[in-house]
Amino acid sequence: MRLLGKQEIEDIAVGAALLGTGGGGDPYIGKLMALQAIEEFGPIKLLSVDEVPDDAFVVSSGMMGAPTVMVEKAPSGHEAKVAFQSLEKYMGKEVFATFPIEAGGLNSMLPLALAAQLGLPVVDVDGMGRAFPELQMVTFYLDGISASPMVIADEKGNVTLLNTIDNLWAERIARSVTIQKGGAVMFAIYPMTGRNLKESGIHNILKQEEEIGRSIRLAKENNVDPIQEVLKITKGFELFRGKVVDINRKTETGFARGTAKIEGLLDYYGETLEIRFQNEHLIAKTDDRLLCVTPDLIAVLDAETGLPITTEALRYGARTVVVGIPCHSKWRTSKGIETCGPAYFGYEMEYIPVEELVGKGVALK
């Protein structure tokens, strides 16, 4: 167990936004909520997965909806507390700890803020190792762990309890509820035992986020290239450098969907990269080459600072570096690819690991 203070929160927020692959919520809002919670309640206890008893009752917390909506409809933090306590009451169990459902600037921060409010520890684990747009896109689903019972709460005081027949129905019904509640809600989800968490979760994700954020901060202080430091930590690859020349983004069916086009600079001059996203970046390709595809991670970084740029913050004229990062091995199983590979999102292509695509890509038909 160790304590997280303000500097750790600053670093985790940056790393989480990068692993969030464009989604996972606004990192600035999430950071402010966690910092305020530390100011009011003191440092946050962070546990390794091994420190959680096998029979402990643990529950994930976070926010659901379109990132574009979350910018205008920022959570107060009270919704998360209501959702969490409502689930505790329904199940008749006291929660031992919480943990983030995914990596993301907001969704990695919210469990930290909630834990500080409730005096609970946070476990250094999540269910994705990145961010994905749908509730069943977690390693817990791959291992047969139910998303429900789950509780959804909004800022108006509405609380919805869901008990669904499977996790796909949890996503469908929860998405409909989210739209009716204004496009962004807080949830308590995937109640499970400590043993479930150890066997199914992706370990040490907050530690990795902190390392990424710290490396970007220190690179600036020491006048070294932050992007190269990020690539070392993540074992990632540079895919493209260029200027954003077009961004087409709309909010529909509870998601931020769209495309971004980046005109190549330097070694990439004469090429144009297209990124397609549904909250998170799903595909990076030029006119004739595939460079990276879900479930591998696609992150857009500021070319000068190395800081990640989310889908809702991407703007015309931004100078960017696009990087590809190998996903966790659980996503490269047949069920993992079936759950969040390109075919699930309607793209007629096979999943090819980024390390096989890097450098030359694969020709598109």
Looking at residue 277, its pLDDT comes to 94
The reply to whether the predicted model has a pTM over 0.85 is yes
Structure confidence at residue 184 (pLDDT): 87
pLDDT at res. 360:
58
Residue ranges covered by each domain of the chain: 2-203, 225-363
Which pLDDT belongs to residue 251? 82
At the topology level of CATH, where does 2-203 sit?
A: CV3147-like fold (3.40.1610)
Question: What pLDDT, on a 0 to 100 scale, did the predictor assign at position 328?
Answer: 97
Please report the pLDDT score of residue 359 as a whole number. 61
Which residues touch 321 (CB under 8 Å, ≥6 apart)?
227, 238, 240, 241, 300, 301, 302, 303, 306
Q: Beta strands 97-100 and 57-65: pairing type?
A: parallel
pLDDT tens digits along 195-222: 999 999 999 999 999 999 999 999 999 9
Fold for domain 225-363?
Answer: CV3147-like (2.40.390)
Length of the chain counted residue by residue: 365
Q: Which amino acid is at 303?
A: A
Residue 363, pLDDT score: 58
Query: Which residues in the chain come in under a pLDDT of 50?
Result: none
Tokens coding 200: 């199914």
The share of the chain scoring above pLDDT 90, in percent, equals: 82
Judge if 2-203 and 225-363 fold alike in CATH terms: no
Long-range contacts of 264-273 (CB under 8 A, 24+ apart): 264/240, 265/241, 265/319, 266/241, 267/241, 268/240, 268/241, 268/242, 271/240, 271/242, 272/242, 272/245, 273/239, 273/240, 273/242, 273/322
